[in-house]
Chain A
Amino acid sequence: MGGRKKTLMGMAALMLLTAPTGAQSWAADGPGTVELGSLANHYSAVTFDHAMHVGVATSCADCHHHTTGLAPTDPNCVRCHKAGAQAQSVSCKDCHSDKRFSPEDLEKTGGNPQLYHKGKLGLKGAYHQKCLGCHTTMGGPTGCQDCHARNDQGDAFFHSGKYAPAPKASGGHGGGH
Chain B
Amino acid sequence: MKKLHRRSFLKGGLAGGAAIAAVGTSKHAEAAGSFGGYPDSMGVLVDLTKCVGCRTCEAACNKEQGLPAPDKSFDDPSVFEEKREGGLPRRTTEKAYTVVQKYDVPGREHPLFRKVQCNHCNEPACLTSCFVNAYKKTPEGAVMYDHTVCVGCRTCMVACPFYIPAYSYSSAINPVVKKCIMCYDTRLKFGKPPACVEACPQEVMTFGKRKDLLKMAHQRISDKPGAYVDHVYGETEVGGTAWMYLSDVPFDKIGYDTHLGDQPIISYVKEFLTIVPMVLTIWPALFTGFHLLSNRKEALKNEDTKS
Contact = CB atoms under 8 A, between A and B. Distances in A.
Interface of A: 39, 76, 100-103, 106, 109-110, 118-119, 121-122, 124-126, 128-129, 132, 136, 142, 144, 157-160, 164-165, 168
B164 to A, nearest CB: 23
Interface in B33-72: 50, 52, 54, 56, 59-60, 62-63, 69-72
Interface of B: 50, 52, 54, 56, 59-60, 62-63, 69-76, 110, 190-193, 197-198, 200-203, 206-209, 212, 216, 219-220, 223-224
A14 B50 CA distance: 27
A19 B167 CA distance: 46
Contacts of B54: 144
Nearest to B200: A125
A129 B197 contact: no
Contacts, number: 79
A37 B150 CA distance: 46
Contact of A124 (B201, B209, B219, B220): B201
Nearest to A156: B63
B202 A103 contact: no
Contacts of A121: 203
Contacts of B69: 159, 165
Contacts of A157: 59-60, 63, 74
B220 A165 contact: no
Contacts of A102: 191-192
A160 B223 CA distance: 40
A165 B202 CA distance: 26
Given A76-B223, A76-B224, A128 B201 contact: yes
A158 B201 CA distance: 14
Contacts of B76: 160
B202 A125 contact: yes
Contacts of A144: 54, 75, 201
Contacts of B59: 157-159
Nearest to A106: B208
22 contacts: A101-B193, A101-B197, A101-B206, A103-B192, A106-B191, A106-B209, A110-B208, A118-B216, A121-B203, A122-B203, A124-B203, A125-B200, A125-B201, A126-B203, A132-B202, A144-B75, A157-B59, A158-B59, A158-B75, A164-B73, A165-B69, A165-B73
Contacts of A103: 190-192
A6 B54 CA distance: 32
